[in-house]
């Protein structure tokens, strides 16, 4: 049995994975009912396993093999391990499209080589594959079947991924990854991020600042689509989004120098954010009306990606 397979067979329960690795999501999950909360934890555990297959493998070849094996299990070409088997059961329960999981794996494969994105388009398409599709899978988990919800769900996933990238500039650089596009920060090698010169540090600060501004636009869109969710799930996702979005102000307090320290939201701060979200949930009509039109500009460059809303070309 391979090391990856051994780790899979010994994998902890979904709730334990969520509690250990997704603290903001675990906090928000308390606002979900038992059924949706259990499903969300199972989805998170699967997505975490896919990430770990790339990040914790001993080599690129080992990571490729682990992802290949996982794809084979999802396609039914071999017996499914614990995590893949549970995900397949979840997909069957919810009517989830398995192509979304395969798109996630495709996105994670991009991390197996050194990462140095050139353009914002590259960054956003990557965010779609590793997080936008998770938003689509969450729609299935939460029993949302209105296709109008899909672009907003994608946007909330992208917003959270952009926040992750802004928070983890230093950690990613240590893994030979620069997600900040060179059109923002210049042709900066990942290994130079940890100890940048004065000019590079200025570009990095500006890049992190702009990234958080882009994330805010996707958060606004994601919130605009929350009315498509069941009421209790609506509150839980609002809390999760607000908590995650507050990583941005934490990064700003660090002067956007997130290669030096990791921006964090404290436990007491999360409680205050949740209280504010509950108040807004009770008072804001916007969160309960399916009247928002999706801003197609947010999906510029997404041509060919499922459930996106690319802008229409002008007639000539």
Which band of pLDDT confidence, cut at 50, 70 and 90, is reported for residue 26? Answer: low
Mean pLDDT of 15-44: 70
Note the pLDDT tens digit of each residue in 264-297. Answer: 999 899 999 999 999 999 999 989 999 999 999 9
Query: What pLDDT does residue 33 have?
Result: 74
Q: Which domains does the chain have, with CATH numbers?
A: 14-299 (1.10.600.10)
Question: How far, in Å, CA of 194 to CA of 257, rounded?
Answer: 10
pTM: 0.90
Q: What does DSSP say about strands 177-178 and 115-116: parallel, antiparallel, or unpaired?
A: parallel
pLDDT at 252 over 50: yes
What do you get for the CA distance between the two ends of the chain, in Å?
60
List, for residues 187-233, the tens digit of each pLDDT value.
Answer: 999 999 999 999 999 999 999 999 999 999 999 999 999 999 999 89
How many other C-beta atoms can be found within 10 angstroms of the C-beta atom of residue 92?
10
Kindly report, residue by residue over 129-166, the tens digit of the pLDDT. 999 999 999 999 999 989 999 999 999 999 999 999 99
pLDDT surpassing 90 at residue 56: no
Q: Residue written as tokens 């079947």?
A: 145
Query: What is the pLDDT, as a whole number, of residue 8?
Result: 40
Burial 166-184 (b: 16+ CB within 10 A, else e): bbbbeebbeeebbbbbbeb
| pLDDT-above-70 percentage for the chain | 88
Q: What is the pLDDT at residue 34?
A: 83
- Higher pLDDT residue, 315 or 70? 70
């Amino acid at each position: 049995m391979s090391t990856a397979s051994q780790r899979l067979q010994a994998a902890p329960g979904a709730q334990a994975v969520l509690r250990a690795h997704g603290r903001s999501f675990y906090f928000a999950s308390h606002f979900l009912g038992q059924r949706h909360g259990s499903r969300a934890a199972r989805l998170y555990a699967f997505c975490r396993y896919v990430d770990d297959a790339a990040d914790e493998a001993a080599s690129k070849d080992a990571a490729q093999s682990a992802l290949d094996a996982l794809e084979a299990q999802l396609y039914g070409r071999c017996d499914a391990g614990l995590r893949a088997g549970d995900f397949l059961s979840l997909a069957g329960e919810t009517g989830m499209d398995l192509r979304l999981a395969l798109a996630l794996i495709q996105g994670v494969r991009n991390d197996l080589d050194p990462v140095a994105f050139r353009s914002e388009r590259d960054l956003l398409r990557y965010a779609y594959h590793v997080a936008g599709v998770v938003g689509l899978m969450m729609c299935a988990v939460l029993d949302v079947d209105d296709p109008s919800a899909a672009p907003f769900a994608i946007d909330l996933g992208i917003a959270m991924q952009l926040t992750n990238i802004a928070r983890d500039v230093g950690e990613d650089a240590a893994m030979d990854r620069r997600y900040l596009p060179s059109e923002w920060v210049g042709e900066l090698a990942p290994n130079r991020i940890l100890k940048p010169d004065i000019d590079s540090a200025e570009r990095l600060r500006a890049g992190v600042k702009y990234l958080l501004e882009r994330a805010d636009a996707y958060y606004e869109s994601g919130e605009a689509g929350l009315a498509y969710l069941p009421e209790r799930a609506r509150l839980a996702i609002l809390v999760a989004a607000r908590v995650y979005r507050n990583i941005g102000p934490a990064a700003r307090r660090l002067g956007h120098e997130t290669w030096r320290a990791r921006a964090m939201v404290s436990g007491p701060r999360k409680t205050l954010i949740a209280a504010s979200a509950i108040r807004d949930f009770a008072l804001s009509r916007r969160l309960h009306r399916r009247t928002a039109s999706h801003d197609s500009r947010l999906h510029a460059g997404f041509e060919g990606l499922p459930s996106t809303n690319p802008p229409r070309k002008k007639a000539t």
